[in-house]
Amino acid sequence: MNDDPEFEPAPTRGPPGPTAARIGGDGLPSRLAVLIAAGAALGLLINLAHPRAVRFASFAPPRVCSAGDEHTGAATPPAVELLSLAEVASLCGDPHAMVADARSAARFAEGHVAGAVHLPCASSRIAANAALDRLVGKETLVVYGDSTEEAMPVAEELRRRGDRPGLRVAVLAGGFPAWSQAGLACSSGPCADCGVHR
Amino acid sequence: MTPSGMSLRYTGAWLLRLGMGGLLVVAGLLKLRDPSAFAVEISNYQLLPSLAAYPAAILPATELVLGLALVVAPAPWRRAATVGVAVLFLFFTVAVTSAYARGINIACGCFGGGGDAIGPLTLVRNLALLLGISGLWVWDAPLRPAAPATPAQPS
């Protein structure tokens, strides 16, 4: 008799089958079910007592581009400014200003405002956080898209996340089409120095 | 198998168990710190985001239990945990691949809130984990005695 707990006695009927066949043997499925059930039960219990518990009934996935909805009430003054082409053009070369492109990566690569960083609406928190890191020392952030409406939620989100009272967050009126049609400085290609870009 | 081969296999399996189990325990504990943030990370994958609260509550503790089982449980339970971890890693790999293929730029969430953005490195890491757990399945197989030699059949 072998007392080693690692030792598995030889099968009494025939040689051991192939690995795939043995996965279902030796009570493995029931043990797996027990482990998963234990994990699930423990998780639910911990969640029940957790101060940062996730609520099943009220959980709603965040909509990154609409995170500023709560700030758009009629009594609240607009926190994001709307800047004209001339005003944005005057910020070119200003080391305290940053321009962010909220369009898709493909549209960005086709052409964008010279010096702009790529920050699409769908980029979620990573790109937004990376952009916020780049905002250190900046006083003005201009966001643009294919239209004013496309850029506004991204600008709102950045203003909310940035939480810097002195930061001026603005949107380019008319978006990139207006900028391009006015013949203002553009460049093309992917965002070379963006930490996260897709 | 020779004694030195057995020893190598035993050591390899033990190291793999320790590595994989430890990784799962750490990942589970980090995720348990903030289930709400983890639910957001899961919903960012845009795979049934409205249901993200359920895996957010269940997954971290399941990782913890499976990780602990890999390290300290008796052999039959370890085998079950190995299969569970393999399924978990496969699920993670599919989720990351899916998000990457759709061009969704999100944090992995592999160790709780934030973290690196998913990319080729995340995929490689997940595939390496899958490979590791497959290796563990093979190396950590129960020892079986050599089958008795069957007498040659007279022709």
Residues A40 and A73 placed together within one structural domain of the fold: no
Q: Which residue of A has its CA nearest to B39?
A: A54
Q: Please list the residues that pair with A143 across neighbouring strands.
A: A100, A171
Is A145 part of a structural domain of the chain? yes
Is A3 part of a structural domain of the chain? no
User: How far is Cα A84 from Cα A6, in angstroms, rounded to an integer?
Assistant: 75
Q: Please list the residues that pair with A169 across neighbouring strands.
A: A141
Is A53 part of a structural domain of the chain? yes
Q: In degrees to the nearest 10, what's the CA dihedral of A186, A192, A195, A197? A: 70
Choose among B104, B95, B93: nearest CA to B127: B93
Is A179 part of a structural domain of the chain? yes
Residues A106 and A21 placed together within one structural domain of the fold: no
Looking at the structure of chain A, the number of domains it has is 2
Residues A78 and A46 placed together within one structural domain of the fold: no
Cα angle A166, A167, A170; round to 5 = 140
CA–CA min distance A116, chain B (Å): 18
Is A150 part of a structural domain of the chain? yes
- Among candidate residues A6, A36, A59, the one where a domain is terminated: A59
Q: How far, in Å, are A20, B9, B47 from residue A27 at the CA level?
A: 14, 24, 33
* Residue A170: domain span: 64-187
Give the confidence band of A186 by pLDDT, cuts at 50, 70, 90: low
pLDDT tens figures, A55-80: 888 887 765 443 333 333 333 434 78
Quick one: CA dihedral A39, A40, A41, A46, positive or negative?
A: positive
Backbone angles phi, psi at A187, to 5 degrees: -145, 170
Residues A112 and A161 placed together within one structural domain of the fold: yes
Instruction: List the CATH number of the domain containing A90.
Output: 3.40.250.10
Residues A31 and A112 placed together within one structural domain of the fold: no
pLDDT (average), residues B23-49: 88
Q: Which of A28, A29, A43 sits opposite B58 (nearest CB)?
A: A43
pLDDT tens figures, B92-128: 999 999 988 887 777 788 887 666 778 889 999 999 9
Interface with chain B: mutation pick from A1, A26, A59, highest number of B CBs within 10 Å:
A59
Length of chain B: 155
Residues A32 and A96 placed together within one structural domain of the fold: no
Question: Which pTM value belongs to this model?
Answer: 0.59
Inter-chain residue contact B57 with A56, CB threshold 8 Å: yes
Is A86 part of a structural domain of the chain? yes
One-letter amino acid for residue A96 of the chain: H
Q: What's the pLDDT score for residue A169?
A: 87
User: How far is Cα A60 from Cα B52, in angstroms, rounded to an integer?
Assistant: 9
Is A193 part of a structural domain of the chain? no
Chain B residues within an 8 Å CB radius of A15: 147
pLDDT (average), residues B122-135: 94
Q: What's the pLDDT score for residue A74?
A: 38
Residues A137 and A180 placed together within one structural domain of the fold: yes
Q: What's the pLDDT score for residue B107?
A: 78
Helices (H), ranges, chain B: 3-32, 35-44, 53-72, 75-101, 120-139
pLDDT tens figures, A116-135: 888 765 555 566 666 667 77
ipTM at complex level: 0.87
Is A9 part of a structural domain of the chain? no
Beta-carbon contacts of residue A110 (< 8 Å; ≥ 6 apart)? A188
Give the confidence band of A33 by pLDDT, cuts at 50, 70, 90: very high
Residues A86 and A130 placed together within one structural domain of the fold: yes
Token digits for B137?
A: 């399945």
pLDDT (average), residues A97-124: 78
Q: What's the pLDDT score for residue A36?
A: 96
Q: What's the pLDDT score for residue B72?
A: 95
Residues A69 and A31 placed together within one structural domain of the fold: no
Cα angle B124, A119, B53; round to 5 = 60
Residues A92 and A174 placed together within one structural domain of the fold: yes
Chain B residues within an 8 Å CB radius of A105: 103
Determine how many CB atoms are found less than 10 A away from the CB of residue B43: 23
User: How far is Cα A176 from Cα A174, in angstroms, rounded to an integer?
Assistant: 7
What integer best gives the mean pLDDT of chain B? 86
H or E element in which residue A168 lies: strand A168-172
Q: Say yes or no: B44 contacts chain A, CB-CB below 8 A.
A: yes
Q: What's the pLDDT score for residue A45?
A: 95
H or E element in which residue A143 lies: strand A140-144
Interface of B with A in 80-139 (CB under 8 A): 80-81, 83-84, 103-107, 114, 117, 137-138
Inter-chain residue contact A124 with B106, CB threshold 8 Å: yes
Give the confidence band of A3 by pLDDT, cuts at 50, 70, 90: very low
Cα angle A59, A65, A67; round to 5 = 55
Residues A46 and A68 placed together within one structural domain of the fold: no
Residues A116 and A71 placed together within one structural domain of the fold: yes
